[in-house]
Amino acid sequence: MKNNQILKKRTRKFNIVNLCIFCIVVLFVTSCSTQTPKTVHEQAAEQPNIVFIMSDDHAYKAISAYGHGLNDTPNIDRIASEGAIFNKGFVTNSICAPSRAVMLTGKHSHMNGKVDNILPFNWDQENFAKALQRSGYQTAMIGKIHLNGLPQGFDYSNVLPGQGSYYNPNFIENGKKIKYDGYVTTVTTDLALDWLDNKREKDKPFLLLYHQKAPHRTWMPEEKYFTLFDDIEFTPPKNFFDDYKGRPVAAQHEMGIDKHMDVVYDLKMLDKEGELKTKYRNAFQGQYNRMDDKQKAAWDAYYDPIISDFKAKGLKGKELALWKFQRYMEDYLRTIQSVDDGVGEVLDYLEENGLTENTIVVYTSDQGFYLGEHGWFDKRFMYEESFRTPLLMKYPKEIKAGTVVNEMVQNLDFAPTFLDYAGVSIADDIQGESFRGLVNAKAKGSEWRDAIYYTYYEFPGEHHVKRHYGVRTDRYKLIHFYYDVDVWELYDLESDPSEMTNVYTDPLYSKIKEDMHKRLVEIRKKYGDSKELNDENLDNFLKAKGLER
């Protein structure tokens, strides 16, 4: 009996202790899981805002921070001086729409399905804007996107249809067509500022894709910059008169400043007499006709004397090619000046509104561009000038001013990088890698890739660049051109940075060639690419991506 009572007492005591422990555990667990939800302000303070600025066809050499002395871009340079400059920023497919699809999805073209500018894009697939939106971001896409269909993942979109126009451009605002008066770069900047100031919900973190059309062909400058560079003579690159020896595919290009640059369409020689009858005269007439009378008067006042002078000179051969180069450089760089102004306005807005500290600002282009190297304009090739793209980034909270990054990053890495900063999980099928660790001074020393992969598919097509793919390491590059040819090229970028000597058959490079072939097989395996896309397997390829021609 006594024992029993003790037992009961003990049991009761045990039960009380147990109950207390149980209550403490329950309280702890519930307090963890039902913690008062963070206010939007608290959340916004943690997740950085992102302003992702992309221009179109902007060669890295045409940004003064890269030190080539062609022009002065003080506002774009500010991003580098207050943050980081990437010396080895690359794309995976050097053409507009595919590049943007890679940027949005974090997947190579053969995975996201948008292989060229012509075949459709499937917006239903996942992209990083959708993921940020789900995590509470306000998202906007303003300017050039060049992907068919209504952008998905954005609370607000106001985009150019296709390539867009320089003067009095049409836009598509949330699916509805609107025409704006003015110059496209300024209009795009104004729309971006308007969204920042008046359209977004200010208590949420935001993602703004602010994407300029310039400096895309046909390089029509803004009136205030007509005369900029008038007194400068640009020196053509050393390989301007390239003979393409040992590079039969390059020899078949249709992107030569001498032969393929149209004096009316590209170089504005729309004479009133109609004597300069070029292939694309009518197309340029269409762009000119978009201008109102005031815009036309200012345009004519600048270009008419140049037209008369050009006609009087009757240039031919090398002299004509050099004249074209000079005209091209002037207009191309002028359009960049307006892009730089816009960057300055957006940076100022962030500053004036106390947003600088918690906003990541990235400046990049959809790919690089030839400024006379190999005698070319345009892009598409895996050669450095178009494979590379400018990349500058600032985020005062994590990136030390004046950071220089020499590792090879690609547009494939934007999606995972932004998700990483926002603390949103990165899906397993994303192929890029977050480069946050490369720019964060505290995380230095992390492992990074030592090879990058490239693909290009738009052939047959404009500018006649054959289909190819390849691998680039820090020092070497191996390229395979296929479809209607079977051509291999190997470059030693240390001894031949301009890629003038294909050493593929040079016995001195036989070991390197073997190694690079292995690297190519490895990297294609890593990214799940093995087939060369051709007419026979195209339909099956598209079907697998939920698309059709």
Min CB(75)–Ca ion separation in Å: 21
**To the nearest 5 percent, what fractions of the chain are helix, strand and coil?**
40, 15, 45
What are the tokens at 51? 């302003």
Shortest CB 366 distance to Ca ion, Å: 4
Closest CA to 391 of 108, 83, 130: 83
Among 366, 378, 384, 489, interactor with Ca ion by CB under 5 A: 366
Q: Measured from the CB atom, is 63 or 96 closer to ligand SGN?
A: 96
Tell me if residue 326 falls in helix, strand or coil. Answer: helix
For residue 340, give the amino acid letter.
D
Tokens of 120: 């459709």
Least distance between ligand SGN and beta carbon 97 (Å) = 6
Helix ranges restricted to H, 369-413: 384-387
At residue 304, what are phi and psi to the nearest 5 degrees?
Answer: -55, -45
Work out what residue 105 binds among Ca ion, ligand SGN, none; the CB cut-off runs from 5 to 8 Å by kind. none
3-class secondary-structure state, position 319? helix
Q: How many CB atoms within 10 Å of residue 505?
A: 11
Tell the smallest beta-carbon distance from residue 326 to Ca ion (Å): 23
Q: Which is nearer to ligand SGN, 79 or 264 (CB)?
A: 264
Q: Which is nearer to ligand SGN, 217 or 480 (CB)?
A: 217
Query: Residues in contact with Ca ion, total (CB under 5 A)?
Result: 4
- Which of 47, 49, 54, 57: binder of Ca ion (CB under 5 A)? 57
Least Å distance between CB 56 and Ca ion?
4
Burial (CB count <10 Å: 0-12, 13-18, 19+), residue 177:
exposed
Binding site partner of 378, from ligand SGN, Ca ion, none, Cβ cut-off 5-8 A by kind: ligand SGN
Kindly state the tokens that stand for 135: 């995590």
Q: Give whichever of 363 and 476 is closer to ligand SGN, judged by the CB atom.
A: 363
Q: For residues 12-51, which are near Ca ion according to CB under 5 A?
A: none
Q: Is 56 a residue that touches Ca ion (CB under 5 A)?
A: yes
Least distance from C-beta 217 to Ca ion, angstroms? Answer: 9
Rounded to 5 degrees, what are φ and ψ at 83?
-145, -120
Closest-approach residue to Ca ion (CB): 96
Give the integer Cα–Cα distance in Å for 98 and 502.
27
| Residue 334, binding choice from Ca ion, ligand SGN, none, Cβ under 5 to 8 Å by partner class | none
87 three-class SS: coil
Minimum distance between the CB of residue 160 and Ca ion, rounded to whole angstroms? 13
Q: State the residue number with the nearest CB to ligand SGN.
A: 96
- Calculate the alpha carbon distances from 352 to 109, 120, 348, 397, 505 in Å: 39, 41, 6, 17, 59
- Binding residues for ligand SGN, rule: CB under 6 A, are 56-57, 95-96, 117, 146, 163, 216-218, 378, 462-463
Q: How far is the CB of 392 from Ca ion (least distance, A)?
A: 18
Sole binder of Ca ion in the list 54, 76, 80, 96 (CB under 5 A): 96
Which one, 440 or 455, has the nearer CB to Ca ion?
A: 455
Only one residue has tokens 């001013």, namely: 401
Contact residues: Ca ion, CB under 5 A: 56-57, 96, 366
